[in-house]
């Protein structure tokens, strides 16, 4: 296998020089695109869209048809893994993901099984194969999973949220139970990511969406440790090429040094962290991905350009930056704002040579 024709993303993640700063957008295949909403309506629901490899391929490619993005990301959801464990994922309109059977009893926790991705997550691997074929190695395909702690948050609470009191009660009162869940999750996530790599993804990203709600001590013990476990069990290459691994703890700007020591090739950075500061702290060891506030894309193009320029300048010259937002794109974002951002990041960062 050879590198994709546009390999700027892979090079930047490995801190190799690139002719310009590559860019992709978290949730680039999503509700801000009218064509996505049409495909989703045809699928019937978000979950059916995830489970149908033809339609998942279709929506994965939609943003690439519009914008000069430097990567595709598999259209899926981090919660497919606990769903495959039998928790019963569903989406209630306007309320985000939920589980029908959140973990309530000790025996449920002790009986949790690592799903076989080849069986229970076959639809994801089929989508990866189809997307790779459709991409014809023009740009790389990014695979992903949720971090063990982030998955545990949903598995215990039954939903997302802001306070995670059920998780924290378990963490402080019954830490051994939480460790049992996290160890199972870590093995499940590693096996799932390895299956994605085998099916063809060329980079992977681990989303630690909720690690930032913890104290530093709890973050180290209950999130970081299991991110390390996942990374130690995930293949470093696929089909003879290195597969860079991106770790993103939202709200984890204080812990970049800890995250840089996990073995990840790159770290996602949210917009609250100054990128130049982040680079000074960990840029010699990892690439950095980010970090425009998604809200900026709701403002006029001149403001978008100014903020993109600020971020590029803050990172400075040299290799190791992948432009992205600091969180997923907002549904109310005008598609033309994404186009303007992609074009201006490319233009402003092009090295004169």
Q: Which residues are catalytic?
A: 27, 31, 40, 77, 154
Taking CB under 8 A as the rule, does residue 1 contact a second copy? no
CB of 191: closest distance to a second copy in angstroms? 31
Helix 275-282, helix 301-315: angle, nearest 10: 20
Q: Which stretch binds a second copy (CB under 8 A): 19-27, 69-77, 162-170, 225-233?
A: 162-170
- How many other CB atoms are found less than 10 A from the CB of residue 173? 9
Distance between CA atoms of residues 266 and 245, nearest Å: 6
Answer for which of 307, 308, 322, 345 binds a second copy (CB under 8 A) is 307
Taking CB under 8 A as the rule, does residue 251 contact a second copy? yes
Taking CB under 8 A as the rule, does residue 300 contact a second copy? yes
Answer for which of 15, 40, 51, 168 binds a second copy (CB under 8 A) is 168
Name the residue nearer to a second copy (CB basis): 4 or 253. Answer: 253
Taking CB under 8 A as the rule, does residue 296 contact a second copy? yes
Answer for which of 35, 108, 274, 343 binds a second copy (CB under 8 A) is 274
Q: Which long-range contacts (CB under 8 A, 24 or more apart) does 14-20 make?
A: 14/242, 14/244, 14/265, 14/287, 15/286, 15/287, 15/319, 15/320, 16/319, 17/319, 18/319, 19/350, 19/351, 19/353, 20/345, 20/346, 20/349, 20/350, 20/351
CB of 198: closest distance to a second copy in angstroms? 37
Taking CB under 8 A as the rule, does residue 213 contact a second copy? yes
- 3-class SS of residue 211: helix
Q: Which stretch binds a second copy (CB under 8 A): 34-42, 52-60, 76-84, 208-216?
A: 208-216
Instruction: Check residue 87 and give left, alpha or beta (phi > 0: left; psi -120 to 50: alpha).
Output: alpha
- Tokens 């609470």, located at residue: 157
Taking CB under 8 A as the rule, does residue 215 contact a second copy? yes
DSSP 115: -
- Contacts with a second copy by CB under 8 A: the residue count is 36
Name the residue nearer to a second copy (CB basis): 303 or 347. Answer: 303
Q: For residue 291, is the peptide bond before it cis, meaning its omega torsion is within 30 degrees of 0?
A: yes
User: Measuring CA to CA, how many Å separate 244 from each of 56, 81, 281, 292?
Assistant: 23, 21, 20, 22
Sites for a second copy among residues 124-153 (CB under 8 A): none
Answer for which of 137, 194, 233, 272 binds a second copy (CB under 8 A) is 272
Residue ranges in contact with a second copy by CB under 8 A? 162-165, 168-169, 172-173, 212-219, 251, 253-254, 271-274, 277, 291, 293, 295-296, 298-300, 303, 307, 310, 330, 332
């Amino acid at each position: 296998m050879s590198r994709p024709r546009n390999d700027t993303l892979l090079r930047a993640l490995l801190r190799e020089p690139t002719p310009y700063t590559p860019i992709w957008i978290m949730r680039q295949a999503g509700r801000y695109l009218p064509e996505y909403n049409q495909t989703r309506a045809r699928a019937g629901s978000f979950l059916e869209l995830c489970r149908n490899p033809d339609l998942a391929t279709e929506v994965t490619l939609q943003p690439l048809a519009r914008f000069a993005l430097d990567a595709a990301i598999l259209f899926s959801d981090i919660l497919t893994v606990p769903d495959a464990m039998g928790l019963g994922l569903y989406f209630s309109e306007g309320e985000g993901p939920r589980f029908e059977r959140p973990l309530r009893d000790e025996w449920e926790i002790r009986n949790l099984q690592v799903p076989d991705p080849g069986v229970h997550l076959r639809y994801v691997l089929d989508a990866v194969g189809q997307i790779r074929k459709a991409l014809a190695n023009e740009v790389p395909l990014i695979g992903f999973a949720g971090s063990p702690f982030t998955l545990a948050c949903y598995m215990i609470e039954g939903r997302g949220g802001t306070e995670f009191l059920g998780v924290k009660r378990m963490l402080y009162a019954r830490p051994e139970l939480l460790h049992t869940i996290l160890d199972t999750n870590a093995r499940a996530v590693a096996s799932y990511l390895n299956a994605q790599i085998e099916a063809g993804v060329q980079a992977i990203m681990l989303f630690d969406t909720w690690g930032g709600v913890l104290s530093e001590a709890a973050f180290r013990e209950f999130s970081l440790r299991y991110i390390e476990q996942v990374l130690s069990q995930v293949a470093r290459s696929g089909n003879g090429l290195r597969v860079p691994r991106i770790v993103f703890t939202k709200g984890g700007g204080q812990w970049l040094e800890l995250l840089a020591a996990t073995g990840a090739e790159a770290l996602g950075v949210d917009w609250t962290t100054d990128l130049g500061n982040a680079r000074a702290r960990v840029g010699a060891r990892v690439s950095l991905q980010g970090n425009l506030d998604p809200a900026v894309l709701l403002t006029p193009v001149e403001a978008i350009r100014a903020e993109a320029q600020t971020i590029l300048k803050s990172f400075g010259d040299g290799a190791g930056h992948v432009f992205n937002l600091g969180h997923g794109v907002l549904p109310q974002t005008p598609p033309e704002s994404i186009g303007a951002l992609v074009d201006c990041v490319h233009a402003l960062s092009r090295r004169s040579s």
